Amino acid sequence: MDLNKRTILWIVFAVSLVALWNEWMISTGRPSMFSAPPPKTAPANAKTTPAGVPAAVGTAAGAAAVPGNAAPFQSQIVTITTDVFKVDIDTLGGQIKRLELLKFKDGFDPTKNQQLFQQQGDRVYLAQTGLVGAANLPNHNTGFTVRPGPRALDGSNQVQLVMDAEQGGVRLTKTFTFKRGDYTIDVRHDVTNTGTAPVNPELYLQLVHDGNKPEGSSWFNPSFTGPTLYTAEEHYQKLSFEKVEKEDASKRENPNFKPDHPTKADNGWVAISQHFFVSALVPQAKQMHDIFTRKVGHNTYSIGVVQPLGALAPGATVSNTAKLFSGPQDEAALERVSPGLELVKDYGMLTIIAKPMWWVMEHINSVVHNWGWTIIAFTILIKLLFFPLSAASYRSMAKMKVVTPKMTAIRERYKGDPQKMNQAMMELYKTEKINPLGGCLPIVVQMPVFIALYWVLNSSVEMRGAPWLGWITDLTKPDPFFILPVLYAISMYVTMKLNPQPADPMQAKMMLFMPLAFSVMFLFFPSGLVLYWVVNNLFSIAQQWVITKKMMPDAK
């Protein structure tokens, strides 16, 4: 039994060292030991979907080719400013090329605001719309003219940007509506047949993103960036850029290839999700659309929908309304935009526990108005909830500590006969009414709660940038002065000393070393999670000390 414990401890120690080394590599800008090699790139086709959505992301020079001898179209950037974001829209294609969140600071440079849409260096994140279904229809590579109007709220509750393009006998008018205090942009497309023959245009909406790993993501601070989608029939699905790459290659090799995500729906949404934030396209409801994912260039991928607009006679106009949400993963706000959109807030595998946890924490914070004190109050509630289990655990450990001399004597007496040693130990447990698993079982039962809380802290944008006391200015970031990890190490050391000491000297030394190893790992954990563990340990020490002292006279 002791040999098995020692083996397990050595395995835990080795895994901890590997994890720490990998975290150090990430924190110093080196690639993770577990990073997959970059996917092999293949030339992107001009049309890689049956709908024929143009694959080009856009011209770097900002000029679009025009037929005949006309001068190339010179694009301009139109900036719209509201109270929640600043948006740059390119007249080349009417693409959203930059979106700055005014109420959220950048996670790595607090002097800047958080950016979602952008196109700089190897970072590509765009929202594009256009028409397909016939040759030379206006798309996201077509030059648009902008109608005059205000470019900021200026006391009003909304501002609109209207832009037009006409080619191939079809005029496309895009109307972007921005509202005060709202991260949802209403996007209306009016399509008019200016030609002499009927046309059957289709509207596409797509989000384009590079396939680079999320900045700052690590084993201790996991974050997902990639395509996600939702339909009422298939529910929420989280994809990855690697999966999109493989599916795109399979489609080129086999035209009949069917992906394992829905390809048709008359509801739902498509999105690019990332840590704390999301950009989602919600197409017009109750209108059938095709859902697609594909590779559009070197290390660049897209997810989108294509909606048929029906036959359009000469002179006729059809309108289509959609929504683009681009902002924080605030559950209440996401629920108002579209059913299922709140699911992008990733609670991991323990959502069934984490979601009620978050509900309780929100209500606590509505009273205390500080997320640090909310975590402390929540920790106390958890300790009260598990008090019967904890009390049973500490009583069992106290009994084990009392009979440790007897256990040591049994080991010495039968050290050459393991079978008799185990028999004698079982007799001792029976006589003293000790459950050898009593100290472990309550901890195992509580582990899902601890893991769920980790995901709550890691996924809640409300915690992002939230201070507690003095040196803790962001509960989602590690403690800058390592005070909480040191307090954790001290509290764990005291807890270990209160527990029964292993009879094996080597095992005892390793048990004393474990608080140091875990405290080093906690250097990289969110300070809010370490705060939880410190408070939990302090209450556990008090509870364990009282129970142990109370049982000592009985043992004597």
pLDDT tens column, 424-454: 878 877 777 776 665 566 567 677 887 888 8
CA distances 370 to 12, 208, 426, 468, Å, are 36, 37, 50, 7
Query: Per DSSP, what are the bridge partners of residue 282?
Result: 323
Q: What pLDDT does residue 96 have? A: 98
Q: Which residue bears the tokens 């190339």?
A: 72
285 and 307 Cβ atoms separated by less than 8 Å? no
Token pair, residue 401, equals 């500590």
pLDDT tens column, 538-556: 988 887 777 766 655 544 4
Confidence of residue 45 (pLDDT cuts 50, 70, 90): very low
- Average pLDDT, stretch 375-402? 79
Percent of the chain with pLDDT over 70: 78
Confidence of residue 398 (pLDDT cuts 50, 70, 90): low
Please state whether 398 falls in left (phi above 0), alpha (psi between -120 and 50) or beta: alpha
Question: Which of 54-58, 267-271, 544-548 comes out lowest in average pLDDT?
Answer: 54-58
- Give the range with max mean pLDDT: 324-333, 344-353, 386-395, 417-426: 324-333
Report whether pLDDT(36) > 70.
no
10 Å CB burial of residue 404 (0-12, 13-18, 19+) is middle
- Average pLDDT, stretch 362-380? 95
Q: Half-sphere exposure of 500 toward its Cβ, with a 13 Å CA cutoff?
A: 23
* Sign, CA torsion 237/242/246/248: positive
Question: Which of 13-22, 190-199, 209-218, 475-484 comes out lowest in average pLDDT?
Answer: 13-22
Residues 553, 543: Cα–Cα separation, whole Å: 17
Residues 280, 272: Cα–Cα separation, whole Å: 6
Confidence of residue 118 (pLDDT cuts 50, 70, 90): very high
- Average pLDDT, stretch 291-297? 93
- CA 426 to chain CA centroid, Å, is 48
Report whether pLDDT(493) > 50.
yes
**Phi and psi torsions of 120, nearest 5°:** -155, 135
Residues 472, 484: Cα–Cα separation, whole Å: 10
Residues 334, 459: Cα–Cα separation, whole Å: 14
Q: What pLDDT does residue 70 have? A: 58
Indicate the pairing of strand 184-193 with strand 202-210: unpaired
Report whether pLDDT(282) > 90.
yes
Q: What pLDDT does residue 362 have? A: 95
Q: Kindly report the pTM of this predicted structure.
A: 0.81
**Phi and psi torsions of 184, nearest 5°:** -100, 130
> What single DSSP character describes residue 463?
G
Residues 456, 462: Cα–Cα separation, whole Å: 10
- Average pLDDT, stretch 147-175? 95
